[in-house]
Amino acid sequence: MIESNRNKDLENRIEQYIDGKLTAQQVDELWAELINNEYYLDYMKSAANLKKIAEEREIETKQPKENSRKHVMLSAAAAILLMIGSAFIFNLSTETSEMLKPISSIELDYYRSADGAATEQAESDVVRRAISTANSGEVAAALNILNSELENTNSNYERAELLITSGSILYNTGEFSEAIERFESALNLEHSDMMLLERNYWYLGNAYFQVNQLDEAKVALEKAFELNGAYSRVAQSYLRALSTR
């Protein structure tokens, strides 16, 4: 990029984001600005990855301190977020065109936390085993693991987590109608985990979008947006795009 065309303020804010120095509102504003800026989206991804590599090399040459180790973990999380988020942003960058699409797949290993960081989901042992099985290509076996556990637990939270996980696996195999059934069933269970509920609505909205049930998709995405958590920004962008269709 030509020096005179560089947006140094945006570059500084990207660096602050990677270092975890932005407020939630500032993070919202940054993502909104990056949606239609392919150059600086790539810049953010590259900066996060370079920082991660530099930190890893540093701790290889000397005894790591606790703060340094924590910083590396945060940098790695930021890089993971950027890789996952890029799929979202690719779709969002065309939100005013006919190319708007639902997410192609649901990431089973990492999820976004409410503050914009990527965190490994604290699943139960059963859910972790099912995800590992699904990721190895044994989808039917993974679903059997989850279905079996559904019959053995009375906890609404656990049942919701199992249903959302099985719905996510079905979504990734293109079984969108079956995924919708799982996501809707999870919504019928009362629990207090707002992050799980928000994720439930976000996935359901995308599943409806996949089968071209746009009115239902809007309702689910509005719920995800109203919960004002990890998926609020991306849900809002999808809602704006869907309102033009």
List the chain domain ranges. Answer: 1-93, 122-245
Mark the ranges of the chain whose per-residue pLDDT is less than 70. Answer: 1-6, 32, 35-36, 38, 42, 46, 48-100, 109-123, 245
Paired tokens of 16: 């602050």
90-118 residues labelled b (16+ CB within 10 A) or e (exposed) = bbbbebeeeebebbeebbbebbbebebbb
- Record the pTM: 0.60
pLDDT at 158: 93
The residue behind tokens 């660096």 is: 15
pLDDT of residue 172: 95
| pLDDT given at position 29 | 75
**What is the per-residue pLDDT for 5?**
54
- What CATH fold (topology level) applies to the domain 122-245? 1.25.40
Residue 48 phi/psi, 5-degree rounding, is -65, -45
pLDDT for 7: 80
pLDDT value for 23:
82
